[in-house]
Chains A and B, each alone.
Chain A
Amino acid sequence: QLQLQESGPGLVKPSETLSLTCTVSGGSISSSSSYWGWIRQPPGKGLEWIGSIYYSGNTYYNPSLKSRVTISVDTSKNQFSLKLKSVTAADTAVYYCARLTTWDGTMIFFDYWGQGTLVTVSS
Protein backbone atom coordinates (compact mmCIF):
# COMPACT_ATOMS: atom_id res chain seq x y z
CA GLN A 1 0.00 0.00 0.00
CA LEU A 2 1.44 3.34 -1.05
CA GLN A 3 2.07 5.76 1.81
CA LEU A 4 3.20 9.37 1.79
CA GLN A 5 4.54 11.30 4.79
CA GLU A 6 5.24 15.00 4.99
CA SER A 7 8.05 16.36 7.17
CA GLY A 8 9.52 19.75 7.92
CA PRO A 9 9.37 22.70 10.31
CA GLY A 10 5.98 23.57 11.74
CA LEU A 11 6.88 27.23 12.22
CA VAL A 12 8.43 29.58 9.69
CA LYS A 13 9.16 33.28 10.08
CA PRO A 14 7.68 35.82 7.68
CA SER A 15 9.85 36.51 4.60
CA GLU A 16 11.70 33.20 5.05
CA THR A 17 11.45 30.02 3.00
CA LEU A 18 9.08 27.16 3.83
CA SER A 19 10.67 23.77 3.12
CA LEU A 20 8.86 20.44 3.26
CA THR A 21 9.73 16.92 2.18
CA CYS A 22 7.42 14.07 1.27
CA THR A 23 8.72 10.53 1.72
CA VAL A 24 7.07 7.86 -0.38
CA SER A 25 6.94 4.27 0.85
CA GLY A 26 5.32 1.15 -0.53
CA GLY A 27 6.12 2.15 -4.09
CA SER A 28 8.70 3.83 -6.29
CA ILE A 29 8.73 7.55 -6.91
CA SER A 30 10.20 6.65 -10.32
CA SER A 31 7.03 4.87 -11.40
CA SER A 32 6.06 5.90 -14.92
CA SER A 33 2.39 5.91 -13.88
CA SER A 34 2.77 8.46 -11.09
CA TYR A 35 3.13 12.17 -10.65
CA TRP A 36 3.64 13.75 -7.25
CA GLY A 37 2.03 16.88 -5.94
CA TRP A 38 1.59 19.39 -3.16
CA ILE A 39 -1.76 20.79 -2.03
CA ARG A 40 -2.44 23.16 0.84
CA GLN A 41 -5.43 23.99 3.01
CA PRO A 42 -5.55 27.14 5.18
CA PRO A 43 -7.23 26.53 8.55
CA GLY A 44 -10.97 26.14 8.06
CA LYS A 45 -10.74 26.72 4.32
CA GLY A 46 -10.63 24.80 1.05
CA LEU A 47 -7.95 23.06 -0.97
CA GLU A 48 -5.41 24.71 -3.28
CA TRP A 49 -3.15 22.82 -5.68
CA ILE A 50 0.41 24.15 -5.43
CA GLY A 51 2.18 22.09 -8.06
CA SER A 52 3.29 18.67 -9.26
CA ILE A 53 6.40 16.89 -10.46
CA TYR A 54 7.31 13.79 -12.46
CA TYR A 55 10.29 11.65 -11.49
CA SER A 56 12.16 13.01 -14.51
CA GLY A 57 11.96 16.47 -12.97
CA ASN A 58 9.20 17.94 -15.15
CA THR A 59 7.21 20.37 -13.03
CA TYR A 60 3.81 22.03 -13.18
CA TYR A 61 3.01 24.97 -10.91
CA ASN A 62 -0.08 26.95 -9.98
CA PRO A 63 0.45 30.35 -11.63
CA SER A 64 -0.77 32.04 -8.45
CA LEU A 65 2.30 30.70 -6.62
CA LYS A 66 4.74 30.02 -9.45
CA SER A 67 7.08 32.92 -8.70
CA ARG A 68 7.69 31.63 -5.17
CA VAL A 69 7.53 27.83 -5.54
CA THR A 70 10.09 25.17 -6.35
CA ILE A 71 9.27 21.45 -6.34
CA SER A 72 12.09 18.95 -6.72
CA VAL A 73 12.51 15.18 -6.63
CA ASP A 74 15.21 12.91 -5.19
CA THR A 75 14.74 9.46 -6.68
CA SER A 76 17.59 7.98 -4.63
CA LYS A 77 15.71 8.79 -1.42
CA ASN A 78 12.19 8.22 -2.82
CA GLN A 79 11.33 11.76 -1.81
CA PHE A 80 10.07 14.98 -3.33
CA SER A 81 10.23 18.42 -1.81
CA LEU A 82 8.52 21.80 -1.72
CA LYS A 83 10.15 25.18 -1.22
CA LEU A 84 7.99 28.29 -0.90
CA LYS A 85 9.93 31.50 -0.52
CA SER A 86 9.04 34.89 0.96
CA VAL A 87 6.22 33.49 3.08
CA THR A 88 3.59 35.58 4.83
CA ALA A 89 0.81 34.76 7.29
CA ALA A 90 -1.39 33.95 4.28
CA ASP A 91 0.79 30.89 3.66
CA THR A 92 -0.23 29.37 7.00
CA ALA A 93 -1.90 26.08 6.09
CA VAL A 94 -1.90 22.33 6.32
CA TYR A 95 0.34 21.14 3.49
CA TYR A 96 -0.44 17.78 1.91
CA CYS A 97 1.63 15.72 -0.46
CA ALA A 98 -0.19 13.40 -2.79
CA ARG A 99 0.21 11.04 -5.70
CA LEU A 100 -1.45 11.70 -9.03
CA THR A 101 -2.10 8.74 -11.25
CA THR A 102 -1.80 9.01 -15.01
CA TRP A 103 -3.88 8.45 -18.14
CA ASP A 104 -2.17 8.31 -21.51
CA GLY A 105 0.93 9.70 -19.83
CA THR A 106 -0.91 12.74 -18.46
CA MET A 107 -1.30 13.34 -14.74
CA ILE A 108 -4.89 13.17 -13.63
CA PHE A 109 -6.47 12.79 -10.22
CA PHE A 110 -5.02 12.56 -6.70
CA ASP A 111 -5.48 9.02 -5.42
CA TYR A 112 -3.15 8.84 -2.42
CA TRP A 113 -2.72 11.59 0.15
CA GLY A 114 -0.31 12.12 3.02
CA GLN A 115 -1.65 12.96 6.47
CA GLY A 116 -0.67 16.60 6.10
CA THR A 117 1.49 18.90 8.17
CA LEU A 118 0.52 22.27 9.63
CA VAL A 119 2.92 25.07 8.83
CA THR A 120 2.42 28.33 10.68
CA VAL A 121 4.03 31.53 9.47
CA SER A 122 4.69 33.76 12.45
CA SER A 123 7.49 35.70 14.04
Chain B
Amino acid sequence: DIVMTQSPDSLAVSLGERATINCKSSQSVLYSSNNKNYLAWHQQKPGQPPKLLIYWASTRESGVPDRFSGSGSGTDFTLTISSLQAEDVAVYYCQQYYGTPYTFGQGTKLEIK
Protein backbone atom coordinates (compact mmCIF):
# COMPACT_ATOMS: atom_id res chain seq x y z
CA ASP B 1 0.00 0.00 0.00
CA ILE B 2 1.08 3.58 -0.63
CA VAL B 3 1.26 5.36 2.73
CA MET B 4 0.35 9.04 2.71
CA THR B 5 1.78 11.16 5.53
CA GLN B 6 0.64 14.72 6.10
CA SER B 7 2.29 17.45 8.13
CA PRO B 8 1.48 19.11 10.36
CA ASP B 9 -1.40 17.28 12.06
CA SER B 10 -2.90 20.62 12.98
CA LEU B 11 -2.29 24.21 12.04
CA ALA B 12 -3.52 27.57 13.30
CA VAL B 13 -3.23 30.54 10.95
CA SER B 14 -4.44 34.13 11.21
CA LEU B 15 -7.13 35.35 8.87
CA GLY B 16 -5.62 36.64 5.65
CA GLU B 17 -2.37 34.78 6.18
CA ARG B 18 -0.97 31.86 4.19
CA ALA B 19 -1.58 28.26 5.21
CA THR B 20 0.62 25.44 3.95
CA ILE B 21 -0.07 21.71 4.32
CA ASN B 22 2.38 19.05 3.23
CA CYS B 23 1.79 15.52 2.02
CA LYS B 24 4.39 12.84 1.39
CA SER B 25 3.76 9.50 -0.30
CA SER B 26 5.77 6.36 0.45
CA GLN B 27 6.36 5.87 -3.27
CA SER B 28 6.09 8.09 -6.30
CA VAL B 29 2.57 8.76 -7.59
CA LEU B 30 3.89 10.25 -10.83
CA TYR B 31 2.86 8.14 -13.81
CA SER B 32 5.74 8.44 -16.26
CA SER B 33 3.67 7.60 -19.35
CA ASN B 34 1.52 10.73 -19.03
CA ASN B 35 3.60 12.82 -16.60
CA LYS B 36 0.65 13.18 -14.25
CA ASN B 37 0.73 13.02 -10.47
CA TYR B 38 -2.14 10.88 -9.20
CA LEU B 39 -2.76 13.02 -6.13
CA ALA B 40 -5.91 14.78 -4.91
CA TRP B 41 -6.75 17.09 -2.03
CA HIS B 42 -10.09 17.00 -0.24
CA GLN B 43 -11.57 19.44 2.27
CA GLN B 44 -13.87 18.24 5.03
CA LYS B 45 -15.77 20.80 7.08
CA PRO B 46 -17.31 19.75 10.41
CA GLY B 47 -20.34 17.53 9.96
CA GLN B 48 -19.96 17.44 6.17
CA PRO B 49 -18.64 14.94 3.64
CA PRO B 50 -15.28 15.56 2.02
CA LYS B 51 -15.20 17.86 -0.98
CA LEU B 52 -12.75 17.60 -3.85
CA LEU B 53 -10.47 20.66 -4.08
CA ILE B 54 -7.52 19.68 -6.24
CA TYR B 55 -6.69 16.78 -8.57
CA TRP B 56 -3.64 15.87 -10.66
CA ALA B 57 -1.79 17.53 -7.74
CA SER B 58 -2.40 21.05 -9.04
CA THR B 59 -5.69 21.31 -10.96
CA ARG B 60 -8.42 23.10 -9.09
CA GLU B 61 -11.88 21.56 -9.21
CA SER B 62 -14.53 23.77 -10.79
CA GLY B 63 -15.86 26.34 -8.33
CA VAL B 64 -12.91 26.13 -5.93
CA PRO B 65 -11.57 29.61 -5.06
CA ASP B 66 -8.21 30.46 -6.57
CA ARG B 67 -6.69 31.05 -3.13
CA PHE B 68 -6.34 27.25 -3.04
CA SER B 69 -3.39 25.87 -4.96
CA GLY B 70 -1.58 22.56 -5.14
CA SER B 71 2.01 21.85 -6.05
CA GLY B 72 4.63 19.14 -5.97
CA SER B 73 5.58 16.03 -7.86
CA GLY B 74 6.67 12.48 -7.28
CA THR B 75 6.43 11.95 -3.53
CA ASP B 76 6.17 15.46 -2.07
CA PHE B 77 3.14 17.69 -2.37
CA THR B 78 1.80 20.90 -0.88
CA LEU B 79 -1.62 22.47 -0.52
CA THR B 80 -1.46 26.24 -0.07
CA ILE B 81 -4.24 28.60 0.93
CA SER B 82 -2.89 32.01 0.01
CA SER B 83 -5.13 34.13 2.24
CA LEU B 84 -7.05 32.23 4.89
CA GLN B 85 -10.76 32.91 5.16
CA ALA B 86 -13.00 31.91 8.07
CA GLU B 87 -14.84 29.41 5.87
CA ASP B 88 -11.60 27.50 5.24
CA VAL B 89 -11.65 26.00 8.73
CA ALA B 90 -11.69 22.28 7.98
CA VAL B 91 -9.68 19.09 7.90
CA TYR B 92 -7.70 18.63 4.71
CA TYR B 93 -6.78 15.22 3.30
CA CYS B 94 -4.44 14.26 0.53
CA GLN B 95 -5.28 11.08 -1.36
CA GLN B 96 -3.41 9.02 -3.93
CA TYR B 97 -5.18 7.34 -6.83
CA TYR B 98 -2.03 5.93 -8.42
CA GLY B 99 -2.99 2.43 -7.38
CA THR B 100 -5.36 0.42 -5.27
CA PRO B 101 -5.93 0.40 -2.40
CA TYR B 102 -6.56 4.12 -2.69
CA THR B 103 -5.18 5.72 0.46
CA PHE B 104 -5.59 9.01 2.30
CA GLY B 105 -3.33 10.99 4.54
CA GLN B 106 -4.28 11.17 8.21
CA GLY B 107 -5.64 14.69 7.78
CA THR B 108 -4.53 18.17 8.79
CA LYS B 109 -6.87 20.22 10.96
CA LEU B 110 -6.77 23.89 10.01
CA GLU B 111 -7.99 26.47 12.53
CA ILE B 112 -8.00 30.24 12.90
CA LYS B 113 -5.36 31.74 15.18
Contacts of B77 in A (CB 8 A): none
Contacts of B42 in A (CB 8 A): 47, 110
Can you list, as one digit per residue, whether each of A22-65 has a CB less than 8 Å from chain B (1) or not (0)? 00000000000000000000000011110000000000101110
> Closest residue to A111 on the B side, CB-wise?
B52
Beta-carbon contact of B52 and A109 below 8 Å: yes
Any A CB within 8 A of the CB of B68? no
Report B48-92 residues with CB < 8 Å from chain A CB: 48-52, 55, 61
Can you list, as one digit per residue, whether each of A85-113 has a CB less than 8 Å from chain B (1) or not (0)? 00000000000100010000001111101
Any B CB within 8 A of the CB of A114? yes
- With most chain A CB atoms within 10 A of its CB, the pick from B52, B61, B101 is B101
> Closest residue to B38 on the A side, CB-wise?
A108
Contacts of A96 in B (CB 8 A): 49-50
Any A CB within 8 A of the CB of B106? yes
- Which residue from B51, B61, B104 sits with its C-beta under 8 Å from A48? B104
> Closest residue to B101 on the A side, CB-wise?
A62
Beta-carbon contact of B49 and A47 below 8 Å: no
Q: How far apart are the CA atoms of A62 and B1 in the complex, in Å?
A: 10
Beta-carbon contact of B49 and A116 below 8 Å: yes
> Closest residue to A66 on the B side, CB-wise?
B101
Any B CB within 8 A of the CB of A115? yes
Bin chain B's interface residue count. Answer: 20 to 34
Beta-carbon contact of B40 and A47 below 8 Å: no
Contacts of A60 in B (CB 8 A): 100
Beta-carbon contact of A108 and B97 below 8 Å: yes
Any A CB within 8 A of the CB of B103? yes
- With most chain B CB atoms within 10 A of its CB, the pick from A49, A63, A100, A109 is A109
A interface with B by C-beta (< 8 Å): 46-49, 60, 62-64, 96, 100, 107-111, 113-116
B interface with A by C-beta (< 8 Å): 38, 40, 42, 48-52, 55, 61, 93, 95, 97, 100-107
Apart from A109-B52, A109-B55: 17 A-B pairs, beta carbons within 8 A:
A46-B104, A46-B105, A46-B106, A47-B42, A47-B95, A47-B104, A49-B100, A60-B100, A63-B101, A96-B49, A107-B97, A108-B55, A110-B42, A110-B95, A114-B49, A115-B49, A116-B49
